[in-house]
């Protein structure tokens, strides 16, 4: 039986050179001996994700068909480079922003413009790191780990110190006058913090922050998404003992962190799984987690407003093709080994991103959704900060900040 089958196969392959070539090409692709594919040189191991069903999430989402985020304004165009996180100090000065060139900068008003407020490494220099509008392009990738990439910013309201989650330098702090930041945490549980992403400060001084992956750094973040790997952690730095503790692990791209108004729980985003998770700090569920919202796209930072509601920045949307990939890791194994640049592979997979922001209450109920379906204002969004009737919207990939009066003025 075996033998006959083999003979049939041989005959088929020889009589149909096309099939033979196809099989050969396929094995070439899968083995990628010359590392031509985007995953070449990486230990690429796609796994299944724990993600809510596509149809269910997309079907029940309250879409903003008026695309009202398109009413926003673009500010500081080409004068600020990939401002992922935005913050204001105790005196209301700012925004402060963490840039793609490794600096934390502060807006000093029309006359003075942006000034450098802090750096995360002694090695930061203008010659090496400051590439202007090119900082948000591939050109920065080779120097990014040397220059730093501050992704999460928070002022401690009591001390006026600024805490920074930097993708390469971990958790750091800098005084109210700025300068070179001091590292606080670079490893946890004997594992280096490979990709610190965001933080928030508990009123007892503890700092909760995310370490997105143990396997890929920020430059390689796309692999975390397509592989679906879940080696991310939620960490807690204790300032009294100067120690860092693992709070949660096995997370799939943990990203933004936000404590609730009364600090009885925190929310964090899990980007790969398109969802927001609640971690209870008090009460009967203390130490437990719960999914509070499944989103139609990939969430980044999350920030509370005066009412205690949460703004989440979402790169939208999930696609049917992605759904198929999620359920069949082997498909990703083949597809992302095609010797074609990642941006084309991503586009073929339907991953054309646009911006959505959503406001959730403390029960996880969506109370507002604003979209920019045509990508007029922003194609990629990283954080929404509501301050005095205005939304400040950061982006990791573009050279601008978007703003929008909120609540929206009706026309």
Under 8 Å CB-to-CB from 5, ≥6 apart: which residues?
A: none
Q: In what order do the strands lie in the sheet with 366-372?
A: 297-304, 310-316, 354-360, 366-372
Residue from 56, 123, 182, 243 in contact with ligand NAG (CB under 6 A)? 123
- Is residue 60 near ligand NAG by the rule CB under 6 A? no
From 7-15, 108-116, 158-166, 202-210, give the range in contact with ligand NAG by CB under 6 A.
202-210
Least distance from C-beta 123 to ligand NAG, angstroms?
Answer: 4
Which residues, 6+ apart, have CB-to-CB distance to 355 below 8 Å?
Answer: 69, 313, 314, 315, 316, 371, 372, 375, 377, 378, 379, 380, 381, 393
Q: Which is nearer to ligand NAG, 215 or 236 (CB)?
A: 236
Size of the site for ligand NAG (CB under 6 A): 11
CA 277 to chain centre: 15
Q: According to the binding rule CB under 6 A, does residue 204 interact with ligand NAG? A: yes
Structure tokens at 98: 């963490």
For the bound state, the minimum distance from the C-beta of residue 338 to ligand NAG, rounded and expressed in Å, comes to 33
Q: Determine the interface stretch with ligand NAG among 89-97, 119-127, 272-280, 396-404 (rule: CB under 6 A).
A: 119-127
Among 281, 295, 302, 304, binds ligand NAG (CB under 6 A): 281
CB of 204 to ligand NAG, least distance (A): 4
Report the run of H or E that residue 394 belongs to, with start and end.
strand 390-394
* Cβ-based burial of 397 (10 A; exposed 0-12, middle 13-18, buried ≥19): middle
Q: Phi and psi dihedrals of 95, rounded to 5?
A: -70, 155
Q: How far is the CB of 174 from ligand NAG (least distance, A)?
A: 15
Candidate ranges 11-19, 201-209, 320-328, 329-337; the one touching ligand NAG (CB under 6 A): 201-209
Q: Please, what is the minimum distance in Å from the beta carbon of residue 200 to ligand NAG?
A: 11
46-74 as b/e: b if 16+ CB within 10 A? beebebbebeebbeebeebeebbbbbbee
Task: Please report, as residue ranges, which positions from 210 to 269 form the binding site for ligand NAG (by CB under 6 A).
Answer: 236, 240
Smallest gap from residue 205 Cβ to ligand NAG (A): 6
Query: Per CB under 6 A, which of residues 2..21 are in contact with ligand NAG?
Result: none
Told to check if 177 binds ligand NAG by CB under 6 A, we report: no
- CB of 121: closest distance to ligand NAG in angstroms? 5
Q: Which is nearer to ligand NAG, 65 or 142 (CB)?
A: 65
Taking residues 364 to 383 in sequence order and writing x for each that binds ligand NAG by CB under 6 A, - otherwise, the string is --------------------
Q: Toward ligand NAG, which CB reaches closer, 38 or 148?
A: 148
DSSP secondary structure of 244-291: EEEEEEEESSEEEEEE-TTSSEEEEEETTTTEEEEEE-SSTTTT-EEE
What residues contact 381, with CB distance under 8 A and at least 6 apart? 300, 313, 314, 315, 355, 356, 357, 393, 394, 395, 402
- With contacts defined by CB under 6 A, name the span among 37-45, 84-92, 200-208, 336-344 that binds ligand NAG: 200-208
Show contacts with ligand NAG in window 67-106 (CB under 6 A): none
- The piece of 68-76, 117-125, 342-350, 396-404 that touches ligand NAG (CB under 6 A) is 117-125
Q: How far is CA 226 from CA 7, 264, 278, in A?
A: 39, 34, 24
Q: Which of 202, 214, 285, 373 binds ligand NAG (CB under 6 A)?
A: 202
Of 20-28, 120-128, 323-331, 345-353, which part binds ligand NAG (CB under 6 A)? 120-128
User: What is the torsion angle, in degrees rounded to the nearest 10, for the CA atoms of residue 341, residue 137, residue 102 and residue 185?
Assistant: -20
Tell me how far apart the alpha carbons of residues 18 and 7 are, in angstroms, rounded to a whole number: 18
Quote the radius of gyration of the chain (alpha carbons, Å).
Answer: 23
Q: Are 195 and 208 in contact (CB under 8 A)?
A: no
Kindly list the residues in this chain that would bind ligand NAG in the complex (CB under 6 A).
63, 65, 121-123, 202, 204, 206, 236, 240, 281
């Amino acid at each position: 039986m075996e033998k006959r089958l083999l003979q049939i196969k041989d005959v088929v392959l020889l009589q149909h050179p096309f099939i033979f070539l196809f099989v050969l090409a396929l094995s070439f692709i899968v083995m990628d001996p010359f590392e031509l594919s985007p995953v070449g040189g990486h230990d690429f191991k796609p796994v299944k994700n724990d993600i809510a069903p596509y149809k269910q999430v997309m079907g029940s989402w309250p879409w903003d068909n008026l695309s009202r985020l398109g009413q926003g304004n673009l500010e500081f165009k080409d004068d600020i480079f990939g401002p992922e996180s935005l913050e204001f100090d105790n005196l209301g000065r700012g925004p402060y922003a963490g840039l793609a060139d490794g600096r934390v900068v502060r807006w000093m008003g029309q006359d003075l413009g942006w000034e450098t407020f802090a750096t995360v490494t002694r090695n930061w220099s203008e010659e090496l790191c400051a590439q202007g509008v090119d900082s948000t392009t591939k050109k920065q990738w080779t120097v990014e780990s040397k220059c730093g990439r501050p992704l999460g910013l928070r002022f401690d309201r009591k001390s006026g110190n600024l805490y920074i989650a930097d993708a390469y330098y971990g958790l750091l702090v800098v005084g109210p006058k700025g300068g070179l930041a001091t590292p606080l945490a670079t490893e946890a549980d004997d594992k280096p913090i490979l990709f610190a992403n965001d933080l928030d400060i508990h009123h007892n001084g503890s700092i909760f922050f995310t370490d997105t992956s143990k396997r890929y750094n920020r430059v390689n973040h796309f692999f975390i998404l397509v592989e679906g790997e879940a080696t991310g952690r939620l960490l807690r730095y204790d300032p009294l003992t100067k120690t860092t503790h693992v709070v949660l692990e096995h997370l799939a791209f943990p990203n933004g962190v936000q404590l609730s108004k009364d600090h009885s729980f925190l929310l964090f985003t899990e980007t790969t799984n398109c969802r927001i998770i609640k971690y209870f700090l008090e009460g009967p569920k203390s130490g437990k987690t719960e999914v509070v919202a499944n989103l139609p796209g990939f969430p980044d930072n999350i920030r509370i407003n005066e009412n205690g509601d949460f703004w989440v920045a979402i790169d939208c949307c999930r696609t049917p093709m992605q759904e198929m990939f999620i359920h069949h890791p082997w498909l990703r194994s083949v597809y992302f080994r095609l010797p074609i640049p990642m941006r084309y592979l991503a586009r073929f997979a339907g991953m054309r991103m646009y911006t959505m922001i959503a406001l959730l209450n403390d029960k996880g109920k969506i109370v507002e959704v604003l979209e920019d379906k045509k990508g007029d204002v922003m194609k990629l969004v990283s954080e929404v900060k509501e301050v005095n009737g205005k939304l400040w919207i950061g982006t990791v990939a573009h050279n601008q900040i978007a703003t929008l009066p909120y609540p929206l003025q009706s026309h």
